[in-house]
Structures are given as C-alpha cells and as structure tokens.
C-alpha cells in the first residue's frame, strides 16, 4: 500500500478542495468516525466486538460455542438497574447463522442468555475441586447477629484446636526434610548419576546385540507375557522336522548320511599325521627347515632325507 493510500485509509488525507472552514474530515466526507460500526447508530445500535463469557450450546444446530469466541455483535441499551445501564448484545453464530441475544445482569454481576442459546452447566463439587465453600447469602446476613457470630466463633476455635497438632507435625516433617539443602542436593545428584550409569549400560548391551534402541531390564510381567506367546504352526513344524533329523542321524562315523564329512575328516587327519611325523624326523636329524612349508608341501620324500643323511655322514 502506498503512502497516499495509507493516509486515505487512516482518514488523514486532506484533499485540495478541503478548507478548515468546512470542519473536520469526517464532516467533509459526510461519515461517522466509527465508519461501518456506526451504520445503525440512529437506532441506538453500535457494532462492537463481543467475546463469549462462558460455554454455550447453540439453539440452531446444537453445537457448542466455547468461551472466548468473538462475534460482531449489535450493542444497545434495553433498561437500567438503578443507575447502571443494562446492555443487550445480538449476534449470529458462525455455524448456522442463528441469532443469539445476551444481556448483562448488574444485580448478580453476570451475563444472561435471553434467546438463541443455552448455557452449558459446569458445576463442580467443592470437595472434588478442592476449594473452600463460600457462605450463602442467608448465612452472610446472619453474621450480623452477635449470638450467631459467637456460636460460629466457638466452632472455629474448636476446629483450630483439633487441627493444630496435625499441622504442627506436618510442619516439623517438612522442616526436617528441607533443613539440609546440601544433603538433599547430594542425594539427588547421586541418584541422577546412578540412573545415567544404568542407562549407559543398557545402551551398550543393546548396541552389542545389534539393536538401535535401549533395552529395559526384564521383569516378571515380561516373562508372563512371553510365556503366553504362541508361535505359528509352520514354525513348530520346522522345529519338529529338525529335531527328527537330528534324532534319526547316527552318531557313528560310518553312517551314510555323513559319509562325505567323515571322508574329509579322515583325509585331514592323515595329512596331519604325515606332517607331524616329518617334523619329528627333521628335528631328530637336525635338518628341519620351516621354509619348506612356504612351498605348500605337506610331506617330505625319503630320497631327500637319505641324501641329507649321506652328506652328514
């Protein structure tokens, strides 16, 4: 928006044909200072921004309108309570465009719904809300009576005597707990350190297991829930088949099922025996050289051994 448009919007623009003899800008333009809000001012109605003082049920669509929702309401005076004016606010709900009328009640310092809605009842018990019960209007009037006030004063003193030992004991317990701030801080820090240490151990354990989350320690509830887990029939069948194959296999090396594995095992054992025998012979004769292993030979010929022995002799 340009500066000229902004000045016109704020009603600060003075056109060239204006002069101070013609009055203010509102009079020159023939409009009210409140603009559209004062379009019904001749009827005694002013458009204001009204905020809902409590939760209500809309009379048109039965939907709830929460406390604090704002409306463009028509404000007008409908009466007086002594010297205090009674104002009426007429608005339309946003949900169904139903007309709602609310008035002020100076006598009870409250708002009253006249038509178009119903107030939502939100009454709570004093004990549930943990608040003090205020005396009723009749009881407030009786407090002016000296005998009534004296009687209740005696009851209040008796309640104080009964509750005083409990309050004193609670105060002593509170003072004992919070007397040493250093000890309390030390205990709290020790608890936090132990907690951090336990968390670090759990994270390291889960990291070793290849998990990206921290595992909590096992509890009895975990054991009970794990005992109630039932695996699928396919899993049970595979497990039974594997156990049946293991039970059917022979534990002796000559069985048909493990002939290939037994043959390989025998070959490896024979090679190991030859290597150990050759190593023992070379150690006895003094001609054992580990460099012969690098050539991949796993046995020594008798001809080499005889030639080496002949040379030594």
How many angstroms separate the Cα of 214 from the Cα of each of 2, 209, 217? 61, 11, 10
Q: Please tell me the distance from the alpha carbon of residue 143 to that of residue 156, in angstroms, as a whole number.
A: 14
Q: In sequence order, what are the beta bridge partners of 80?
A: 85
Cβ-contact 89, 103 below 8 angstroms: yes
- Interval 267-291 mean pLDDT: 63
What is the maximum alpha-carbon separation in the chain?
147
Report phi then psi at 87, rounded to 5. -105, 145
Model pLDDT for residues 97-156, shown as the tens digit of each residue: 899 999 999 998 999 999 999 998 877 776 766 666 666 666 667 777 787 777 778 888
pLDDT for 57: 93
pLDDT of 257 higher than 50: no
pLDDT of 287 higher than 60: no
pLDDT of 174 higher than 80: yes
The DSSP 8-state label assigned to residue 252 in this structure reads S
Q: How many CB atoms lie within 10 A of CB 72?
A: 12
By residue count, the chain amounts to 313
Tell me which of 218 and 262 has the higher pLDDT.
218
The DSSP 8-state label assigned to residue 264 in this structure reads H
Tell me which of 313 and 261 has the higher pLDDT.
261
Least confident range from 76-80, 259-263, 297-301: namely 297-301
pLDDT of 7 higher than 80: no
Q: Please tell me the distance from the alpha carbon of residue 18 to that of residue 73, in angstroms, as a whole number.
A: 35
pLDDT for 146: 80
pLDDT for 90: 94
Closest listed residue to residue 215, CA positions, set 224, 225, 204, 228? 204
Inter-helix orientation angle 302-312/259-285, to 10°: 10
pLDDT for 35: 78
Q: What mean pLDDT value characterizes the chain?
A: 77
């Amino acid at each position: 928006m340009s500066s000229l448009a902004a000045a016109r919007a704020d009603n600060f623009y003075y056109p060239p044909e204006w002069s101070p003899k013609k009055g203010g800008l509102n009079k020159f333009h023939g409009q009210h200072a409140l603009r559209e809000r004062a379009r019904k001012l001749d009827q005694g109605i002013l458009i204001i921004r009204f905020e809902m003082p409590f939760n209500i049920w809309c009379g048109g669509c039965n939907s709830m309108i929460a406390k604090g929702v704002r409306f463009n309401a028509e404000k007008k005076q409908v009466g007086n309570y002594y010297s205090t004016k009674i104002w009426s606010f007429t608005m339309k709900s946003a949900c169904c465009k139903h007309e709602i009328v609310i008035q002020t009640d100076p006598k009870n310092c409250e708002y009253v719904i006249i038509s178009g809605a119903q107030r939502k009842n939100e009454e709570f018990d004093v004990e549930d809300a943990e608040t003090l019960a205020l005396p009723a209007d009749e009881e407030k009037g009786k407090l002016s009576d000296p005998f009534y006030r004296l009687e209740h004063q005696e009851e209040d003193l008796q309640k104080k005597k009964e509750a005083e030992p409990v309050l004193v004991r609670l105060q002593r317990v509170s003072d004992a707990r919070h007397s040493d701030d250093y000890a309390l801080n030390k205990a709290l820090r020790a608890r936090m350190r132990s907690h951090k240490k336990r968390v670090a151990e759990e994270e390291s354990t889960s990291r070793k297991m290849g998990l990206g989350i921290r595992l909590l320690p096992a509890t009895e509830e975990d054991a009970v829930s794990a005992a109630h887990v039932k695996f699928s029939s396919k899993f049970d069948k595979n497990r039974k088949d594997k156990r049946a194959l293991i039970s059917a296999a022979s534990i002796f090396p000559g069985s048909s099922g493990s002939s290939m594995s037994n043959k390989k095992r025998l070959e490896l054992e024979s090679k190991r025996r030859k290597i150990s025998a050759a190593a023992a012979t070379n150690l006895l004769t003094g001609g054992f050289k580990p460099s012969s292993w690098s050539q991949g030979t796993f046995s020594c010929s008798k001809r080499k051994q005889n030639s080496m022995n002949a040379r030594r002799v």
